[in-house]
A and B are shown apart, each in its own frame.
Chain A
Amino acid sequence: MDLSLLRPLLFRALTLFGVLITVLVLLAVSLGATGFSDKILQATVGEELRALRTSLTQTIRDPDQLEAALEARRQELLASYGLDQPWYARIPGMVWRVLTLDLGEARNLRSYDGSSRIADIVLERLPNTVLLLTTATVITAVIGILAGVWMSTRVGSRLDRFVAYLAAVSYAVPTWWLGILLVLVLAFELELLPPGGMYSAPPPEGAFARFLDLLWHSVLPVLTLVLASVGPSIYSIRTLTLNIAQEDHVAVARAKGMPEPVVRNRHILRVAAPPIVTGLILGLAGSLGGSILVETIFDWRGMGRLYYDAIAGTPDEGLIVALTFMFTLLYVIARLVLEVLYVWLDPRVRYEGGP
């Protein structure tokens, strides 16, 4: 790759890193300024002291001595959690801890091997979310490109109008409600597909059978995500291709007698590729949000379902902070991947003086 391409990439990476830090600071400030973080930390300290009191009563008989020992431990704990400082003094430490994935302990939820470390729980769920999201995005992109390009040769047909309406309606239908409908119809009325979960109970033996089972369970959530975004995707790619197909250089290529596939691949699609990637970038935030709710519906054991579980019952603040950060991180990483793709596809990119 040309070295001059690294500069714009670096610039984007810096912006996205700025986003990450901004979000983190925002999280820290809203936790601190509302007294929320004090409340959480005080509760943690209280819990530790209660546990300590129970164990100390076994060894220390004198009540005064016991109280003194507890008080000393309390001061130690307050200092270690930074509760002896005002909340704004704790922000840098907090941001640093989250950045290094030192996310604390979860209240009730556990990882599958029983760990209560939030980092363990979240990291165990992360691949499931990534799997769901990338599968859906790739399928949407492939259908979008194939159908969009094909549709651009049939502008004005009945199918074309149908896609236009589908795209408009897609903006109006909540993805998660669509998921519920699919469960209601395909899983319960027709009993074609499993209504939720990632594996059958009990899961089948053997790696390949397990994989097939996972695939089987992923059909509905992936279908939901694809259905929600495929309409707008096809429509925008169709419009993009159509606009480029009307440009002079395409007419020249045709006039030179180039075969149609070459015109389409080299002169239309090659030019349309960067804006198609831009479309994917823009759709990413939406599908990320959609995946949180779709995971909830389908009991897909990813980070989105974890959000739902962390909010329900006794809310788990530490987990919610960690998830918000992880989702932002995931978004930033996905954006970076797409930016690299974009720069690779469109060598004209130069960010002199910003966008």
Chain B
Amino acid sequence: MRLDLRTVLRELWATGAGRAGLLLFGLLALAALWVVLTFPRDFGPRRWSNPALWGDYPKAAPPAWTNLLGPRRPEHRILETRAPAREDGKLKVYELAFDFQGRQPPTFLSFSLADVTYRSGPPTVEAVLIRPDGGEVPLFRTVISGPFPGEAPPYRRHQDEPLRVALDSDPNAVEATYGYLLEQEPGVDYDAVQRQLPLALFGRWVDGGLVPLEGRYRLEARVRVEDPGDRVGRVRFVAGGAVYGAMGTDAQGRDLAQGLLFGLPIALLIGLAVATLSTLLGTALGLVSGYAGGRTDLLIQRAADVVNNVPVLPLLIFMVFVLGARLWLILLVLVLFSWPGLTILVRSMVLSLRTSPEVEAARALGASRGRIIVHHVFPHIAPFIFATLIFSAPSAILAEAGLSFLGLGDPTLPTWGQILEQGFRTGAVYLGYWWWILPPGLLIVLTAIAFMLISLGLEPIVNPRLRRGQ
């Protein structure tokens, strides 16, 4: 029986499980490909594990779509502009506008600017909130740091580290807001403004309390420059929400959707790499053991017996602990402990094939040992080996996830197991942060099920007796 890839795929497609498995796997593989093409290679250390990058995100916020199911909570908004909306000689105005609706004000407010370039004198920056009632609240003003002694123009500031102000706790912002509200309505309580600054900024003082004021707000960053060529590369205003994105955020404010997506190609890589390598190793050893016989056979079988009887997880924990948590090392250890089962099976298959008429004929014709193994033994067991390969992929993914969950994952590559581990360590389970706990596990299950379904669909190919109508 000769099988090429096209026949295998056709046969697979013919079974329900095979079709579902192929579709699911195709979907996952496409998503993984997209991630590989669009995410930076050093996503782990540069972005995921860089707390500075996630400061503008809400902490432990559920996904935005939960608003459809329960009470409406403010959505997270990141407004950003890179070019001034108006220019008036030496004044450049960057404008960020947004609609505020609903009962709850943003959970926090942050204003930041980055990538400032100037030639002679440092620019001054003023942030002003313009409210729907026409009022202007000057929130914050500062001067960009001046030239250092010996520094030559153009002077660049805030290239890597943006200038960031937490407006919701800034004393100037409190004073300004209090002053503005007092003009509108006498009797405003200073403490209330200080306590609930976001609500005061996006609200009015009515009957002794703050109520939200819906409408269109604009935040203007007024930059006064000395030289018309001076510029600010990026102005950002963040109105913190209580919900975020498609998958929510973790306790550090990291966008879980990004981490989960990045975990996908890694999971597929772990599954496929370990399955392929251990299948290759197991098959090769099984072929040699079965065909060579004698002392080689005895040695391989004894080794297989011992390795097969070793409880893998404790040893895996130990090896990774001693040798270091690097992904390739985890893969290597998994490969080294997962070959014996296949070796024992392949050997017994080879033993029965050795006496088959086909092999005897080939031997009589003077074929070499290698040629017999490659051309007359291997093709008969190939479908079985292919099925084993697919079947063994999930266990590798699960093993890596378990290891990561114990805190032994490769820290430079965020995986689903690590996201779960961080969730567990931070107490997400006890705090009911389900969006942090469910999706990574579900993705592990989904990926494993894709492989399981394909291997179920392969059954009729491996075991021709199961083929329909035959």
* Chain A interface residues (CB < 8 Å from chain B): 15-16, 18-19, 22-23, 26-27, 30-31, 34, 36, 168-169, 171-174, 176-177, 180-181, 183-184, 188-189, 195, 285, 288-289, 292-293, 296-297, 307-308, 311-312, 315, 317, 320-321, 323-324, 327-328, 331-332, 335, 354-355
A contacts with B: majority SS: helix
Cβ of B424 and Cβ of A184 under 8 Å apart?
no
Residues of B within 8 A of A181 (CB): 437-438, 441
Contact A311 B301 (CB under 8 A): no
In the complex, are the beta carbons of A172 and B429 less than 8 A apart? Answer: no
Residues 359 to 394 of chain B near chain A (Cβ within 8 Å): 394
Expressed in whole angstroms, the Cα–Cα distance for A355 and B308 within the complex equals: 14
Stretch from B95-103, B252-260, B443-451 contacting the other chain: B443-451
Enumerate 20 A-B pairs (CB-CB under 8 Å) in ascending A order: A18-B306, A22-B310, A30-B318, A30-B322, A172-B451, A173-B445, A174-B401, A174-B445, A177-B401, A181-B441, A184-B429, A195-B429, A292-B314, A293-B402, A311-B321, A311-B407, A311-B408, A317-B322, A320-B321, A328-B314
Point out the residues of chain A lying under 8 angstroms from B318, CB to CB.
Answer: 27, 30, 320-321, 324
Contact B314 A30 (CB under 8 A): no
A residues near B323, Cβ cutoff 8 Å: 30, 34
Residues on B with C-beta less than 8 A from A355 are 305
Q: Which of A174, A180, A311, A331 contacts B311 (CB 8 A)?
A: A331
B residues less than 8 Å from A22 (CB atoms):
306, 310
Tell me, in angstroms, the Cα distance from A333 to B398 when the chains sit together: 26
Q: Which residue of A lies closest to B453 (CB)?
A: A168
Cα(A312)–Cα(B452), bound, Å: 33
Cross-interface CB contact of B429 among A18, A180, A308, A317, cutoff 8 Å: A180
| 7 residue pairs, one from A and one from B, having the closest CB atoms | A289-B313, A172-B448, A177-B441, A327-B314, A324-B318, A331-B311, A19-B309
DSSP majority for the B interface? helix
* A16:B317 contact, CB within 8 angstroms: no
B residues 424-447 touching A (CB-CB < 8 Å) = 424, 429-430, 432, 434, 437-438, 441, 444-445
Q: Is B437's CB under 8 angstroms from A180's CB? A: yes
B237 at the A interface (CB under 8 A): no
- Which A residue's beta carbon lies closest to that of B432? A188
Shortest beta-carbon distance, A165 to chain B, in Å?
10
Known contacts being A34-B322, A36-B322, A324-B314, is A335 close to B309, with CB within 8 Å?
yes
Known: A36-B322, A172-B445, A328-B311. 17 other contacts (CB 8 A): A15-B305, A19-B306, A22-B306, A30-B318, A171-B394, A172-B398, A174-B445, A188-B429, A188-B430, A288-B311, A307-B406, A308-B407, A311-B407, A320-B318, A321-B318, A324-B314, A327-B311
